[in-house]
């Protein structure tokens, strides 16, 4: 039977090798070019600001997510499922659109400052450290909430029944059930958000960028695009990789298991305390809903009037973004299918490593390395779109692989031996067994990959000229030129296209599975 699976067994390791080469070759180029170079005071200031804003963003996002996740875990109300779904929207929302929405609410001419002006109070500024942290909380609070909510829902029902039979009040329930779960979940959630914020680019280039509000990512971009100091850019990129690795190691050492043991079901929610705690949960959910929806609504209201008079660069850039998103999603999906199917047949350390390594880097670091590799041979602008496609494919593949792996393992356990006994392999196996059975997670994963690629503003900022600019880059340029109405109109198109692509892939997968 092993010989019948030979095509898959050969294809998946080959794809894993290519993926490792795509990630590690740029990282090696960065390490080689940056070896022995020292950083100046401005660079160390960027390092300090990067760590500070990422740490604060992770702390605020996870701490504020605790009451939100607790309210969702212990309350049942109409629209709860819709609100939980809303918590996943900012993950797909392009960062540049989120920033424009926050500017429409908290910016100099935003709704909040208009109210403050009417009350005779001084205005607030969203630019600088507090603005960067605010934007990161907006983008990552829903992610932290979803992760912590899963921890609450994973508390075994038997433990909850035991606590109820012993007459535990809210404080005892928190001490014996909720606090151990939070010790297990919070470090991982904080690490994920910290790494995301360390590699944030679109937020900082819009809300930071000053001498006191520059991150490593922005310094890399400035070193390549404006100073053409590739050695300095490589040194900064290598330093960022080291900081991300140390953060992951620290969290691994701090994480502690909750030791609840196994349960038979998870259908029993925690008892919802009445009185002022119910009012507190209601106010918490209302506040977070308002916080998440107001910026998106503000972008829509500001962008709608300008749709009829878009700048000429918007529609071609939208077409390039769609092309990049579709090709990246298809490449990532095909690669993830082959690698997850091979992993489902047995332990494959190389495949597992290849599917995890991209999480340790960022689009700008990979872009810097590829720039170093390409620049001696061809002008980087000529390869802007192909390089963007490859980097987006590599960065979205870990998500698809994790989505598909449980499904492919179930597929192999249920139908693997039968398919092998029938000599069902190659295209026939894909057509009649794999694709129909994996249609739903395939559609969902491809939708995520397409939406993430649509909103990417990383590697394209390094490579692109006017003729290669994608829609996020055009929006960033419009906002930088203070053409906020035009930027809002372009942002409305970007978010509509991102969610449309996600919906099209996800709905297609669900229809194929029906």
Model confidence over 25-53: pLDDT tens digits? Answer: 887 887 777 666 677 787 888 888 888 99
Contacts of 366 (CB under 8 A, 6+ apart): 22, 23, 26, 27, 391, 394, 395, 459
Residue 325 predicted with pLDDT over 90: yes
Distance from C-alpha of 57 to C-alpha of 59, rounded to nearest angstrom: 6
pLDDT one-digit tens code per residue, 115-149:
888 888 888 888 888 889 999 999 889 888 887 88
Give the per-residue pLDDT at 235.
81
Mean pLDDT (whole number) for 219-246? 78
Place of tokens 């890399």: 220
Among the ranges given (94-103, 303-312, 381-390, 431-440), the one the predictor scored with the smallest mean pLDDT:
431-440
Distance (Å, whole) CA 477 – CA 454: 16
Kindly report, residue by residue over 386-436, the tens digit of the pLDDT: 888 999 999 888 888 877 777 777 777 766 666 666 666 666 666 667 777
Residue 499 to residue 452: CA distance in whole angstroms: 10
Decide if 87 contacts 146 (C-beta within 8 A).
yes
The four Cα atoms 332, 335, 340, 343 give a dihedral, to 10 degrees, of -140
What's the mean pLDDT in 98-108? Answer: 85
Write down the pLDDT at residue 100.
85
- The average pLDDT across 3-22 equals 72
- Percent with pLDDT over 90 in the chain: 8
Mean per-residue pLDDT, 200-226: 78
Among the residue ranges 124-128, 208-212, 295-299, the one predicted with the least confidence is: 208-212
Q: 111 or 261: which carries more pLDDT confidence?
A: 111
Given this model, what pLDDT does residue 35 score?
61
pLDDT band at 96 (very low <50, low <70, confident <90, very high): confident
The average pLDDT across 494-512 equals: 86
Q: What is the DSSP string of 196-251?
A: HHHT--HHHHHH--STTS--HHHHHHHHHHTS--HHHHHHHHHHHHHHHHHHHHHH
User: Global pTM?
Assistant: 0.77
b/e per residue 411-440 (b: at least 16 CB within 10 A): bbeebbeebbeeebbeeebbeebbeebbbb
pLDDT at position 137, please? 93
Q: Which residue has the higher pLDDT, 97 or 226?
A: 97
pLDDT given at position 262: 44
The pair phi, psi for residue 34, each rounded to 5°, is -90, -5
Confidence of residue 159 (pLDDT cuts 50, 70, 90): low
Q: Is the pLDDT of residue 168 over 80?
A: no
pLDDT tens digits, 244-256: 767 766 655 655 5
* Least confident span in 265-269, 338-342, 367-371, 446-450: 265-269
Specify the range with the lowest mean pLDDT, choosing from 248-252, 322-326, 343-347. 248-252
State both tokens at 333: 């999906």
Please give the average per-residue pLDDT across 335-364, as a whole number. Answer: 79
Chain centroid to CA 376: 32
C-alpha 494/C-alpha 48 separation (Å) is 33
Reported confidence tier of residue 2, pLDDT bands at 50, 70, 90: very low
Task: List C-alpha distances in Å: 475 to 97, 100, 307.
Answer: 8, 9, 14
User: Band of the pLDDT at 215, cuts 50, 70, 90?
Assistant: confident
Q: Give yes or no for residue 266 having a pLDDT over 60.
A: no
Q: In this model, does residue 265 exceed pLDDT 50?
A: no
Q: Domains in the chain, ordered, with CATH? A: 1-36+310-514 (1.10.3720.10), 49-293 (1.10.3720.10)
Higher pLDDT, 512 or 373: 373
Tell me what the mean pLDDT of segment 368-395 comes to.
Answer: 86
Instruction: Identify the residue with better confidence: 161 or 251.
Output: 161
Chain-wide mean pLDDT for the chain? Answer: 79
pLDDT at 56 over 70: yes
> What is the DSSP secondary structure assignment for residue 432, as one 8-state letter?
I
Q: What does the alpha-carbon distance between residue 191 and residue 57 come to, in Å, rounded to a whole number?
A: 11
* Residue bearing the bigger pLDDT, 453 or 93: 453
């Amino acid at each position: 039977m092993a010989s019948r699976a030979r095509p898959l067994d050969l294809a998946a390791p080959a794809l894993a090798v290519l993926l490792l080469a795509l990630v590690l070759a740029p990282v090696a180029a960065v390490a080689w070019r940056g070896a022995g170079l020292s950083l100046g005071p401005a660079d160390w200031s960027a390092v300090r600001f990067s760590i500070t804003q990422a740490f604060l963003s992770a702390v605020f996002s996870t701490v504020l997510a605790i009451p939100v996740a607790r309210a969702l875990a212990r309350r049942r109300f109409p629209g709860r499922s819709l609100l939980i779904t809303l918590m996943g929207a900012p993950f797909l929302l392009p960062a540049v659109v989120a920033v424009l929405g926050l500017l429409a609410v908290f910016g100099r001419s935003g709704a909040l400052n208009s109210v403050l002006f009417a009350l005779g109070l001084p205005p607030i500024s969203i630019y600088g450290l507090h603005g960067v942290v605010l934007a990161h909380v907006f983008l990552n609070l829903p992610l932290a909430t979803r992760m912590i909510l899963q921890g609450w829902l994973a508390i075994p029902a038997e433990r909850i029944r035991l606590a109820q039979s012993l007459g535990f009040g809210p404080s005892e329930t928190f001490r014996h059930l909720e606090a151990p779960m939070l010790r297990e979940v919070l470090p991982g959630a904080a690490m994920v958000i910290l790494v995301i914020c360390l590699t944030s680019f679109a937020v900082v280039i819009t809300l930071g960028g000053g001498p006191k509000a520059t991150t490593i990512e922005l310094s890399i971009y400035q070193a390549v695009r404006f100073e053409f100091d590739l050695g300095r850019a490589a040194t900064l990129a290598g330093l960022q990789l080291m900081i991300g690795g140390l953060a992951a190691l620290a969290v691994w050492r701090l994480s502690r298991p909750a030791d609840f043991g196994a349960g038979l079901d998870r259908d029993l929610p925690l008892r919802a305390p009445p009185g002022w705690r119910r009012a507190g949960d209601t106010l918490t959910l209302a506040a977070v809903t308002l916080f998440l929806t107001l910026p998106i609504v503000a972008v829509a209201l500001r962008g709608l009037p300008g749709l009829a008079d878009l700048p000429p660069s918007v529609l071609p850039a939208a077409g390039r973004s769609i092309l990049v998103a579709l090709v990246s999603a298809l490449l990532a999906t095909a690669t993830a299918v082959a690698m997850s199917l091979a992993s489902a047949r047995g332990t494959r350390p190389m495949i597992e490593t290849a599917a995890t390594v991209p999480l340790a880097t960022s689009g700008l670091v990979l872009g810097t390395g590829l720039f170093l590799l390409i620049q001696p041979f061809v002008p980087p602008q000529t390869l802007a779109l192909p390089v963007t496609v490859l980097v987006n494919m590599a960065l979205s593949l870990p998500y698809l692989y994790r989505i598909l792996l449980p499904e492919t393992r179930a597929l192999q356990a249920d139908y693997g031996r039968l398919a092998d006994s029938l000599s069902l392999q190659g295209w026939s196996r894909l057509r009649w067994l794999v694709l129909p059975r994996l249609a739903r997670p395939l559609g969902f994963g491809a939708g995520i990959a397409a939406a993430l690629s649509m909103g990417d503003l990383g590697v394209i900022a390094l490579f692109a000229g006017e003729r290669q600019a994608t829609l996020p880059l055009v929006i960033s340029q419009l906002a930088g030129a203070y053409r906020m109405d035009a930027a809002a109109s372009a942002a409305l198109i970007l978010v509509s296209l991102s969610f449309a692509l996600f919906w099209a892939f996800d709905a297609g997968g669900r229809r194929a599975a029906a």
